[in-house]
Structure 1
Amino acid sequence: MQLSTPTGTHTTPPPVPQPARLSIDASAYTDYKTLRRNGSVVGFEPAKVSIAMTKAFLAVNGGQGAASARVRELVEQLTSQVVSALIRRQPSGGTFHIENIQDQVELALMRSGEHDVARAYVLYREKRNQERAQKRQQNAELNRHALHVTDQGVRVPLDMDHLRDVIEAAAAGLNESLNAEPANGFATAPTNQVDVDLILKETVKNLYDGIPVDEVFKSAILSARAALERDPAYSLVTSRLLLHTIRKEVLGIEVNQGEMATRYADYFAGYIDLGIAAGRLSPELRNFDVARLAAALDHTRDLQFSYLGLQTLYDRYFLHIENRRIELPQAFFMRVAMGLALREDDRETRAIEFYDILSRFDFMSSTPTLFNAGTLHSQLSSCYLTTVPDDLEGIYDAIKENALLAKYAGGLGNDWTQVRALRSHIKGTNGESQGVVPFLKVVNDTAVAVNQGGKRKGAVCTYLETWHLDLEEFLELRKNTGDERRRTHDMNTANWIPDLFMKRVMEAGDWTLFSPSDTPDLHDKVGREFEAAYVGYEQQAANGTLKLFKKMPALTLWRKMLSMLFETGHPWITFKDPCNIRSPQQHVGVVHSSNLCTEITLNTNASEIAVCNLGSVNLVAHLKHHEDGSIELDHDKLQRTISVAMRMLDNVIDINYYAVDKARNANLRHRPVGLGIMGFQDCLHVKRLPYASQEAVEFADRSMEAVCYFAYWASTELAAQRGRYESYAGSLWDRGILPQDSIALLREARGGYVDVDARSTLDWDALRARIKTHGMRNSNSVAIAPTATISNIIGVSACIEPTYQNLYVKSNLSGEFTIVNDYLVRDLKKLGLWDEVMVADLKYFDGSLARIDRVPAELRRLYATAFEVEPHWLVEAAARRQKWIDQSQSLNIYMAGASGKKLDDTYKLAWQRGLKTTYYLRTLGATSAEKSTGRGGELNAVSMAGAAQSNASMHASSASAASLPEPEILGAACTLRPGDAGFDDCEACQ
């Protein structure tokens, strides 16, 4: 704050009483809050008392006097007095009103003998009171001549005072010295540029006489939202304005955020009863001590959300009755926590523990868990993997199972390799098979029809091994040309590639396609056994014993795979042998496919549908800043979070609703879970590491080592408490072989072709010894899923993704959202470069800094976007992670100026580095589309990477890899931008 300089002389103060020295670090007073005049609640910060007193001394004594050692010491003592006086009144924590704090400041100044300074402070307070009264009078005058609103059928004048208060409360703490009243009454230097007057002006401008009062606040939300590109802080303002409308919808009356400290507890019990009565919540929630859980709800955590995060929760996650929401954010998190603690002995303690890591954004469960925990249909698992048998009844049973599993938000991975190929003999009818493709059309249409209650599209990925005779047709399923009856535009596809094929590609050998009806054992064989059997079938084909086959150069088929991947984005490239040879569960079966998002690698067979439960650690929330300026992972916090998270994931297995018995049997027998990460790119920004750097690769290695170490440790701790999973005996865990040890098994099976850094830093021998004693609770523990939606909820970068663009528009089922890179804005502000010109340049250059010369080269490198990072860096970082992970990771490949050679090099590198799977290929041509005002060039829109080209076609199966044509403008491999429904197919997982 700025104090008017009073006249008067300074008198020497008497000795000041010496209270116990108190910390002025805000973190020491987390149990105390400050209630401001507009009703908002902010954290209590003693440091701001010191700042205000210093400024008061500055107003009286000038700069030199206020900077003296005597004054500094006096201010510190007086601050301790003020804080002591406040805390004595509320020793157990609580909320101080702004006026009470300022009263204590006056008293301390007077008692110290600093009468001139106290007088200046009193005069300043009075001046501010007069200004507020004058503003209220002005608004009252405006109200007499201004708009009217309709409130519950009654026409009343628009209350400008109230509207301003709501907007100011939303901006509290974000722009303290510009528009909002300073937190705790004491001004600080601004870090953001939130203009309350601008929001108010734009809000009123969009109103009309007689407008419903609810529409007024919607106008305020839209007005704040329109300013998002000016400053990331507007995202928080918009979120808090939305929160205001949510509170009114849920509670039925307007309630300010400060009141929620007590309102949450009063509301929560009624919410539980209402949800149960309406059939939205499970009656089992009544078995909890609801009052104890209500007392644990922290209303201040509502203020963490970005606009995208809260709007996503409101539109798609909060429970509703006849389209009226009944959940507030903290009740939502507690409902999920209660749903996961149903079978715990001490339900309340565990529920509060689960609630804390969810509501603090340290960990987030996957979307199915958030949707359904605590409800009547607790389908909490994310992924289901099935194997389709080679008979008509089994095929249609599999399609039915897809529908049942997708109904409550499960993502599907289907293995169709066993189904006989086109022209194969059918013994029962003495006819010929139509092959796999006609059935896949039915699978595609089933996924469209079963859309998870309208919450999002059903999603499925079909896998086919590379030796299947229908493979060439399978490669073309997503093409936009050809017979539509043999196209599946709404289904994902993936190649399940054995190592032998990749060896033949590397060595320019031949490859033969077979029908599984003639070669049934290939489906269940891996490594050297597969190679021996496959070579035997090649010999049968050569001597005429086996009639139905097709032989071609392996390179020809590889080129067609890459060509189709570039043209349609499918089928994805996944590798069968690493998934099996490194699987802890190879003793009880075979991994026949991955899942919808290519991160799950679990066994499937005729009697077992693999199931996996997902959740992700917010990695950036676990960074620790040291006094020397270094930043590293906080291993203690990470271990605590993962220990709780693994317990939550393990609980899902027992609580989960299983639509299919084969899924229940498999999950209870093996108990796999998939703990992942998100916020990796945020960590690199905080640590000032470019994604395209060896340092980033090292961080990928060390961070994943820590996550996996603590995940496996948590699983063996659970085993000590709850027992080992049923099929543990004979597993790699049981044999003392940890995931990083299994790389040697892969190298041996391949006879080379594996180049992976083997360094480690943690005490893995101690973990081996503990596993030997207690075993493991879960057959699999770690998998990095895409986190497409849950990362939006908590406001961090998705899983292991690089920054898409530094400024762009994200589109999803909740609408369009301007996304700005907060870290970049912060750096540009420090340099004085964040202005309207910079925003315009970022729009023009599609969110890239590369051609904005006034930005320092260091920042251009640090904030390079996904298509500016060479794909080999993505692969190298993924390879370091993969050595620790017992499942896999959803790895998107971003490629600017894609060519046949670049595709060939990238995917061969992925195989040689031991990756198990890859996900979407997202390409961007060497040239970019001309900016226009037509479709895709609207204001505030950014042209999307990999926009769909319906007429694109590439027939390069007979061309050399290096001669695959360059794409013109934008390749079709990635058809949508981040947030679009198609881009986030993996929302079925996350």
Structure 2
Amino acid sequence: MSLDLHAENASAPIIHLRPESLAAVPSEPAMQIIRRNGKVTPFDSGKIAVAMTKAFLAVEGNTAGASRRVHETVEQLTADVVTALMRRAGEGRTFHIEDVQDQVELALMRSENQKVARAYVLYREDRARKRAEETIAQASEAPQSAIHVTLTDGSRVRLDSKRLELIVTEACAGLDGVSPAPVLTETQRNLYDGISQDELALASIMAARTLVEQEPNYAYVSARLLLDKLRGEVLSYVHKTSTSASQADMATRYADYFPEYVRTGIAAELLDPELARFDLGRIAAALKPERDLKFQFLGLQTLYDRYFLHVRGKRIELPQAFFMRVAMGLALREIDREAKAIEFYGLLSSFDFMASTPTLFNAGTLRPQLSSCFLTTVSDELDGIFKSIKDNALLAKYSGGLGNDWTPVRGLGAHIKGTNGESQGIIPFLKVANDTAIAVNQGGKRKGAVCAYLETWHVDIEEFLDLRKNTGDDRRRTHDMNTANWVPDLFMQRVQADAEWTLFSPDETADLHDLYGADFKAAYEAYEAKAKAGGLRVCKTVRASDLWRRMLTMLFETGHPWITFKDPCNLRSPQRHVGVVHSSNLCTEITLNTSADEVAVCNLGSVNLLNHVGSKGIDRAKLKRTVTSAVRMLDNVIDINFYTIPEARRSNLRHRPVGLGLMGFQEALQLQRIPIASNDAVSFADLSMEAISYHAIEASADLAAERGAYPSFAGSLWSKGILPIDSVELLAEARGALDLDRSSTLDWDRLRNKVKSAGMRNSNVMAIAPTATISNICGVSQSIEPNYQNLFVKSNMSGDFTVVNDFLVRDLKTRGLWDEVMVSDLKYFDGSVGQIDRIPDDLKALYATAFEIDSVWLIEAAARRQKWIDQSQSLNLYIANPSGKKLDALYRLAFNRGLKTTYYLRSRSATHVEKSTLKGTDGKLNAVSVTSAISHAPIIVPAAPDLEGVKACRIDDPDCEACQ
């Protein structure tokens, strides 16, 4: 079957179209075609008709009936193709032959001639492969390349075609479904005489990226090609000579490079000189160069842009050196620190566990600020307010995420004794805090981010709800700050009873801030009585259900404030004996006490659940080893940490909280063939979190036996043998009932006795963070999230990246369903498999995306996890077709199931993946810049998800901290 459009010697068509049959085709003024050999020929729409006719008849046969139908269909499709080409042309009238074929392919699919389209696609794939093989053969036979490469010093050398072929071939080695041929072909299209070294590196990386949507393993190829560029950059700087190395060379060169890297980093005042006192020979010998090959492109590009240490823009860290630097930084105070550094390195470099972003940024450096989250309470005085804003800046400087409790600050209209005036409330100060967060952007590594919390009885709550609106007085808006409601149980009870709710100013009701449960209810009702008697200066009565509706409306319209629940956070807090939880953090997973003299600090890291699960379930032995080492790493952070304010140091050393979480939950389900919207998924959430909880608590108890319990242990729930699974009953008792499964599978009695006798090293042990960036590094889905789409463009501070669900691709390949038509279908249906008829129902269930499932399933799974967690979890909720009734039911369910917090409400965006079959690179590449010298390559950027109007949070917005 010859389907090559505009071929010079195309054979005669099986049937001939009469000239009048093409009457519908638009005129073709001065349109020309660039053929693959560079020759320009006149455009001839008749050849399009010929090629499509052959495709139809090859599939449907050459009967009289078929010929008549083909005749009519081809006539219309040819007209559609020419119209599309002219529309895309703008002022130009010249097209590459591939452009024309792309439009033919798209027309066939849009007309629902799927079998013909598939035949056409497969033909193109076959021809492309053969052309690539011919190109490689010709290149290998050529005596010498005519292309020169311009070096950084301005000199020119001939392109080393053999090395280019070696690097591309090496990048493809061991990967299913990939071939060097198409990468080399696309690379060579973009070469020109005098190309720079950076452009040469970019050409191959971009070439591999164009193929990711067809075969996910090209994401590994792209990463390995970026590695080649990185190796050249790093080795030439560290060794002060122009040098390069293949991946095979690094088997021996890594050990030589590592001591030089440490010396270079110390000389540049980037690394702690203490690292040089390690046995660097022993450390270097433990490096595993082959683990460089574990990266996908998104992960490595993120490290390149934001994590690897650099001197004047030149990277000095290779991936394994980076992981070992972090491991050494966390092992500084161990007795056998080499052994522990190697142990920690093994976890990080295998992606079994990943420390949080601040730890990865700063471990082993001169300023080791390793903690992730800081929670503060703002006091009700001018000095205290501005001290809190200054503290925000100091904490954010080294990559800390902030949660501020603003409830103590008096409300609008409250009396100010010192001036005998009236307060302007909290809103003007929140504006200052918002602008401070933007000003301190953490050295360009990630945006400063803060979340303000306000309790629902505060008299400024209604204005607080409006902070993120795009209308109104801009001086009373905080467009960058996150906001969250801190909701007492009593308010939810009033909502359910459709009763009244009274708002107060905290200068008149100060004790409400520190009360919860029955004590809060008694005090609140007493203040209501006092207000009705005229005993309070500032108060307001509203219907609780009206305020609740407004909270949900603002949540939908602006994405804020989030809904978090005060009483579960406090009733179940292990540290309720020494303080009160007044807010959560930036991402709603931390629930720690704050006060005027204590700023809560939490140190985070996450287990990669995918690496601990097989087709038959959890590998308990491996999980225990990982969790035990991970908890030790997190505990070490507390002593090594660089504290920017004394209140943070005091709190962290007194209570020693850590937050072990997880990521890759979605892939762990898919590996076991469990749909996320199912009872089996809820059960797995329960079982997996029980196992993590059990081993994490035991690890902390073992550390207490080795190093001593944390100073405020006495009197804690831990000291009474009340573990997180037991504290559920405290919440149930306070509410009168709690509809939640309490079943367990492990020997918790043994662990209770161990904790009571040995103590706990850490006041808090578990918290599930969003993991948005570290999950990218590990190549898994973030945290406990469902698949957003199976094919989409992810945006973050490193650019835009095509993401394909490789589990889905594997299943489709197994069933003979993966081809370019399927890629196009996934694009057309925004990454959803639900509407693609030829995909079997079992795969539709297994690969249902976030907006195709009911978020009730996410809440049920989160509730089963929450019973095992002493802190909370970053729980995003998705709703495709929101309504007030649906939102009300969803958030009431979250409350009734005993969840402590919720996070973003996600709505469906209007545009997703570019619905085009043009093969182009996606997004920007920051490692090397795209220059006009190679801009002739067809580049189509799939659209990043956007919002339809203003609805909730935009998925993967690079400005959204959850996505960083």
The yes-or-no answer on 1:301 pairing with 2:301 is no
Contact 1:898–1:924 (CA<8 Å) still a contact in 2?
A: no
Distance 2:602 2:692 in 1: 18
The yes-or-no answer on 1:643 pairing with 2:621 is no
Corresponding residue for residue 11 of structure 2: none
Contact 2:824–2:915 (CA<8 Å) still a contact in 1?
A: no
Q: 2:955 aligns with which of 967, 977, 981?
A: 977
Corresponding residue for residue 482 of structure 1: 472
Aligned-pair distance for 1:259? 1.4
Corresponding residue for residue 469 of structure 1: 459
The yes-or-no answer on 1:232 pairing with 2:219 is no
Aligned-pair distance for 1:815? 1.1
Corresponding residue for residue 499 of structure 2: 509
Please state whether the residue corresponding to 1:817 is helix, strand or coil: strand
Q: What per-residue deviation string (whole Å, max 9, x for no partner) do you get for residues 491-536 of structure 1?
A: 0000000000000011111100000011000000000000000000
Distance 1:834 1:645 in 2: 39
Corresponding residue for residue 833 of structure 1: 817
Distance 2:500 2:548 in 1: 11
Distance 1:401 1:558, change over 3 A: same
Q: Which amino acid aligns with 1:336?
A: V
Corresponding residue for residue 5 of structure 1: none
Q: Which amino acid aligns with 2:416?
A: I
Distance 2:163 2:573 in 1: 61
Contact 1:809–1:819 (CA<8 Å) still a contact in 2?
A: yes
Distance 2:444 2:565 in 1: 34
Contact 1:459–1:985 (CA<8 Å) still a contact in 2?
A: no
Distance 1:558 1:850 in 2: 34
Corresponding residue for residue 596 of structure 2: 606
Please state whether the residue corresponding to 2:718 is helix, strand or coil: coil
The yes-or-no answer on 1:171 pairing with 2:172 is yes
Q: What per-residue deviation string (whole Å, max 9, x for no partner) do you get for residues 1-59 of structure 1?
A: xxxxxxxxxxxxxxxxxxxxxxxxxxxxxxxxxxxxxxxxxxxxxxxxxxxxxxxxxxx
Distance 2:544 2:136 in 1: 79
Distance 2:432 2:179 in 1: 55
Contact 2:914–2:941 (CA<8 Å) still a contact in 1?
A: no
Aligned-pair distance for 1:409? 0.1
Aligned-pair distance for 1:932? 8.1
Contact 2:145–2:161 (CA<8 Å) still a contact in 1?
A: no
Q: 1:730 aligns with which of 715, 725, 733?
A: 715
Distance 1:394 1:603, change over 3 A: same
Aligned-pair distance for 1:807? 0.1
Corresponding residue for residue 385 of structure 2: 395
Equivalent pairs counted in the alignment come to 807
Please state whether the residue corresponding to 1:875 is helix, strand or coil: helix
Distance 2:939 2:897 in 1: 43
The yes-or-no answer on 1:539 pairing with 2:529 is yes
Distance 2:867 2:291 in 1: 36
Q: What per-residue deviation string (whole Å, max 9, x for no partner) do you get for residues 247-271 of structure 1?
A: 1100121101111111011000010
Distance 2:336 2:736 in 1: 52
Which moved further from structure 2: 939-948 or 495-504?
Answer: 939-948
Distance 1:930 1:756 in 2: 39
Aligned-pair distance for 1:945? 5.5
Distance 1:837 1:640, change over 3 A: same
Corresponding residue for residue 887 of structure 1: 871
Q: Which amino acid aligns with 1:679?
A: G
Aligned-pair distance for 1:137? 9.0
Distance 1:834 1:983 in 2: 34
Corresponding residue for residue 363 of structure 1: 353
Please state whether the residue corresponding to 1:424 is helix, strand or coil: strand
Corresponding residue for residue 344 of structure 2: 354
The yes-or-no answer on 1:769 pairing with 2:759 is no
Contact 2:447–2:959 (CA<8 Å) still a contact in 1?
A: no
Please state whether the residue corresponding to 2:412 is helix, strand or coil: coil
Please state whether the residue corresponding to 1:258 is helix, strand or coil: coil
Aligned-pair distance for 1:977? 2.4
The yes-or-no answer on 1:742 pairing with 2:766 is no
The yes-or-no answer on 1:784 pairing with 2:782 is no
The yes-or-no answer on 1:244 pairing with 2:221 is no
Alignment of 1:344-493 (within 5 A): 344-493=334-483
Aligned-pair distance for 1:743? 1.2
Aligned-pair distance for 1:878? 0.2
Distance 1:890 1:940 in 2: 34
Corresponding residue for residue 162 of structure 1: 163
TM-score by length of 1: 0.80
Distance 1:986 1:446 in 2: 21
Please state whether the residue corresponding to 1:585 is helix, strand or coil: coil
Distance 2:374 2:231 in 1: 37
Distance 1:931 1:239 in 2: 23
The yes-or-no answer on 1:850 pairing with 2:837 is no
Which moved further from structure 2: 153-162 or 310-319?
Answer: 153-162
Aligned-pair distance for 1:939? 7.9
Corresponding residue for residue 150 of structure 2: 150
Corresponding residue for residue 61 of structure 1: none
Distance 1:648 1:495 in 2: 33
Distance 2:214 2:629 in 1: 39
Aligned-pair distance for 1:948? 6.0
Distance 2:766 2:143 in 1: 60
Q: Which amino acid aligns with 1:786?
A: P
The yes-or-no answer on 1:903 pairing with 2:887 is yes
The yes-or-no answer on 1:343 pairing with 2:333 is yes
Distance 2:525 2:948 in 1: 41
Distance 2:399 2:874 in 1: 19
Distance 1:261 1:929, change over 3 A: closer
Contact 1:229–1:818 (CA<8 Å) still a contact in 2?
A: yes
Corresponding residue for residue 676 of structure 2: 691
Contact 1:264–1:297 (CA<8 Å) still a contact in 2?
A: yes
Please state whether the residue corresponding to 1:203 is helix, strand or coil: helix
Q: Which amino acid aligns with 1:146?
A: A
The yes-or-no answer on 1:569 pairing with 2:559 is yes
Contact 1:338–1:351 (CA<8 Å) still a contact in 2?
A: yes
Q: What per-residue deviation string (whole Å, max 9, x for no partner) do you get for residues 696-745 of structure 1?
A: 00000000000000000000000000000000000000011111111111
Corresponding residue for residue 815 of structure 1: 799
Distance 1:748 1:496 in 2: 21
Q: What per-residue deviation string (whole Å, max 9, x for no partner) do you get for residues 304-323 of structure 1?
A: 00010111111100000000
Distance 1:720 1:931, change over 3 A: closer
The yes-or-no answer on 1:527 pairing with 2:517 is yes
Corresponding residue for residue 706 of structure 1: 691
Percentage of pairs with the same residue: 64
Aligned-pair distance for 1:156? 2.8
Distance 2:807 2:614 in 1: 17
Distance 1:932 1:834, change over 3 A: closer
Q: Which amino acid aligns with 1:409?
A: S
Contact 1:736–1:772 (CA<8 Å) still a contact in 2?
A: yes
Contact 1:843–1:942 (CA<8 Å) still a contact in 2?
A: no
Q: Which amino acid aligns with 2:139?
A: N
Distance 1:433 1:283, change over 3 A: same
Distance 1:694 1:513, change over 3 A: same
Distance 1:981 1:143, change over 3 A: farther
Contact 2:794–2:944 (CA<8 Å) still a contact in 1?
A: no
Corresponding residue for residue 223 of structure 1: 207
Distance 2:786 2:642 in 1: 35
Please state whether the residue corresponding to 1:343 is helix, strand or coil: coil
The yes-or-no answer on 1:286 pairing with 2:276 is yes
Q: Let me know the Cα RMSD of the aligned residues.
A: 2.0
Corresponding residue for residue 261 of structure 2: 271
Contact 2:658–2:766 (CA<8 Å) still a contact in 1?
A: yes
Contact 2:770–2:962 (CA<8 Å) still a contact in 1?
A: no
Please state whether the residue corresponding to 2:157 is helix, strand or coil: strand
Distance 1:846 1:984, change over 3 A: farther
Corresponding residue for residue 667 of structure 1: 652
Corresponding residue for residue 104 of structure 2: none
